A and B are shown apart, each in its own frame.
Chain A
Amino acid sequence: TQLLEQSPQFLSIQEGENLTVYCNSSSVFSSLQWYRQEPGEGPVLLVTVVTGGEVKKLKRLTFQFGDARKDSSLHITAAQPGDTGLYLCAGMNSGYSTLTFGKGTMLLVSP
């Protein structure tokens, strides 16, 4: 079983602060995805990273895939209350056909 460890598990910050969420594994993934989930809703795909070292930006969100494709990070600049939610990383190994989800990081951004 491949495991994805996310840190921190919970983060409470003020509007305007920056933050980074980490997703780590001892396994290599062919791709890694980040989702955001709001209470009572399903996860929504934010980004997929495929190439080691790849960096993708989505407005104030920056995603990076580690060179060895074992880890990833999500950096949010100038967080806003609308960024509040559960952030989940999920990896897919080429030998499998399903995603493995990390335990998630619950982000609370206060005005």
Chain B
Amino acid sequence: DTEVTQTPKHLVMGMTNKKSLKCEQHMGHRAMYWYKQKAKKPPELMFVYSYEKLSINESVPSRFSPECPNSSLLNLHLHALQPEDSALYLCASSQGIRTGGVHGYTFGSGTRLTVV
């Protein structure tokens, strides 16, 4: 299995809703990432997990809450989002934080989130 699977592919939520994005990989990768991508822009890093522990939080608002239940799963819990949070949310994984620079990241197809 050489894929990163993200669910759902599309999500529409109201500003008072609570929802979660899920990401799964079975490549044995020990680093996992959440990125946010607006239209026609590059991906922007949100969070990095290494060995199931939060390693980097790029000053993301607390309405985004990441969780890594085990080495294969990564969740992003959403609460009280704003319309400007609408974007493509990408999950990625790499063998490790350092080796990601050599072997690259594997990205999922993303969740297209619309906040209404």
Tell whether, in the assembled complex, residue B104 and residue A45 are in contact, meaning their CB atoms are under 8 Å apart. yes
B: number of interface residues (CB 8 Å): 29
State in angstroms the CA–CA spacing of A102 and B55 once bound together.
Answer: 23
A41-B100 CB under 8 A given contacts A97-B48, A103-B41: no
The residues of A that contact B41 with a CB separation of less than 8 Å are 103-104
Q: What 0/1 readout, one digit per residue, does chain B (81-104) give for beta carbons within 8 Å of chain A?
A: 000000010101000011011111
A43-B103 CB under 8 A given contacts A97-B56, A106-B40: no
Tell whether, in the assembled complex, residue B102 and residue A42 are in contact, meaning their CB atoms are under 8 Å apart. no
Chain A residue at smallest Cβ distance from B101: A92
CB contacts between A and B, total, < 8 Å: 64
A50-B40 CB under 8 A given contacts A42-B90, A42-B107, A44-B107: no
Q: What 0/1 readout, one digit per residue, does chain B (38-66) give for beta carbons within 8 Å of chain A?
A: 00111111001010000110000000000
State in angstroms the CA–CA spacing of A12 and B85 once bound together.
Answer: 30
Give the Cβ gap from A37 to chain B, nearest Cβ, in Å: 8
Tell whether, in the assembled complex, residue B98 and residue A45 are in contact, meaning their CB atoms are under 8 Å apart. no
Task: Report which of B42, B44, B48, B102 forms a contact with A88, defined as CB distance below 8 A.
Answer: B42
The residues of B that contact A97 with a CB separation of less than 8 Å are 48, 50, 55-56, 97-98, 100
Tell whether, in the assembled complex, residue A42 and residue B109 are in contact, meaning their CB atoms are under 8 Å apart. yes
Chain B residue at smallest Cβ distance from A9: B40
A40-B102 CB under 8 A given contacts A88-B42, A97-B55: no
Between-chain CB contacts (< 8 Å), 23 pairs: A30-B101, A33-B104, A41-B109, A42-B109, A43-B43, A43-B90, A44-B107, A45-B105, A48-B103, A48-B104, A92-B100, A97-B56, A97-B100, A98-B33, A98-B48, A98-B97, A99-B100, A99-B101, A101-B42, A101-B44, A103-B41, A103-B42, A104-B40
Q: A92-B101, A99-B105 are in contact. List 6 more A-B contacts (CB 8 A).
A: A31-B102, A35-B107, A41-B110, A42-B110, A45-B104, A97-B97
